[in-house]
Amino acid sequence: MDHSGKPFRWAIVGTGKIAADFASQVALIKDASLHAVFSRRREHAEKFRAAFGMAAAYDSFEELLADEAVDAVYIALPAALHHETCIKALRAKKPVLCEKPFAVSAGEAEEILAVSRQENTFCMEAMWLRFSPLVGQVRAMASNGELGRICNITVQVGYATPPGRLQDADPGRGALLNFAVYGASLVQMIMGNPASVHGDLIENEAGLDDGCTLSLRYPDALASISASNTVTMNNEAVITGTKGRVRLGSPFYSPRYAEVMHLSEPASGAPVKHNPVKGVPKLDRIPFYGLVQGTVWNALLRRRAKILMRKPGESGLKFEALEVMRCVREARIESETMSHADTLSVARILDQARGSQEATVPAPVSLQAI
């Protein structure tokens, strides 16, 4: 495809909330345009098209793939449909950005990425956590040694979900694939692949997991992830190293702030007095963005605390779209920020968590079945 001097034209596959959120962010990119949308229900496609001023609405996925104006497709369908939809798009030589979880199993993920390589066509998991500038700063701190040796990561993630959604057959709505995937991706990004994974899942009558805990063991470190579909958790992540600790504020996968605390103590072992920092602005002068709560303000008054703030309007959705556009224009088939190997590693972590207690394995679902 020749993208020189032309807007990058996106097609959106699906019309749910995340599809609308993504479209809203793409609309902010100067050299991108929202070209087409697909939904099996024509009226949903037309409504979405009108809302975002798109050129075309399709109720046939094959017709969308035949549209030569489409430069890439963003897939925001239920997780059980990702495998079939991604492969069809890649076979049609359409670059793919697929919403998390990339697939319902590592086996499906491997098959999708094999087709990406066969067709020499770009494919990436839409893990917006990895494209947050704030998370990028924390990742750099971990890799450049500022936090010392990383010893522990703890993650809580979950939201109370309407009971009807928990009876849905889509495995992507279970706590493991819907929420724990964020924690698994964060841990894998910071610490690499674990030596072992243990998972405990609580399944409901429909076979979906309402809650889960994952324990990841590394040679000299541990990580734990708790996820729930039934209660709202603190949705924070804490990364602890020998020299420092970072707390990614809620929601950690798109954090509004990060609290950084350096842990060096006086050689005498005497306690450190946390005096107010000179030059800290008065409370009413801090740019709020609705973010500065008591815990953040208290942290500002600690001698060695630093608060990193997200800029207003910044979203990982926008930055992941920009990454796709860059990679496609450079004729790449994967991104270094969210590589094929990273996606497979995270999928295997989730498989191991499910397999450690013989939880229900999701059954294949066809696009024609919904």
What CATH number is attached to the domain comprising 186? Answer: 3.30.360.10
**Kind of pairing between the strands at 72-75 and 8-13:** parallel
Q: Is residue 35 part of a domain?
A: no
> pLDDT (tens digit, 9 = 90+) per residue, 98-139?
999 999 999 999 999 999 999 999 999 999 999 999 999 999
Q: Is residue 20 part of a domain?
A: no
Rounded to two decimals, what is the model's pTM? 0.85
Helix, strand, coil shares of the chain, percent, nearest 5, are 35, 25, 40
Q: Is residue 211 part of a domain?
A: yes
Q: Is residue 2 part of a domain?
A: no
Q: Is residue 369 part of a domain?
A: no
Does the structure show a pLDDT above 90 at 206?
no
Q: Which residues contact 55 (CB under 8 A, 6 or more apart)?
A: 35, 36, 49, 69
Name the band, by pLDDT with cuts 50, 70 and 90, for residue 1: low
Residue 271: Cβ within 10 Å count? 8
Q: Is residue 86 part of a domain?
A: no
Q: Is the peptide bond before 133 cis (omega within 30 degrees of 0)?
A: no
- For CA atoms 232, 354, 254, 51, the dihedral sign is negative
Coil, strand or helix at 313: coil
> pLDDT (tens digit, 9 = 90+) per residue, 51-62?
999 999 999 999
Domain that holds residue 224: 133-309
Q: Is residue 326 part of a domain?
A: no
Q: In percent, how much of the chain has pLDDT > 70?
A: 81
Q: Per the structure, how many domains does the chain have?
A: 1
Coil, strand or helix at 282: coil
Q: In percent, how much of the chain has pLDDT > 90?
A: 74
**What pLDDT score was predicted for residue 369?**
43
* DSSP code string of 109-128: HHHHHHHHHHTT--EEEE-G
Backbone angles phi, psi at 356, to 5 degrees: -70, -15
Coil, strand or helix at 321: helix
Q: Which residues contact 311 (CB under 8 A, 6 or more apart)?
A: 133
Does the structure show a pLDDT above 70 at 36?
yes
Q: Is residue 357 part of a domain?
A: no
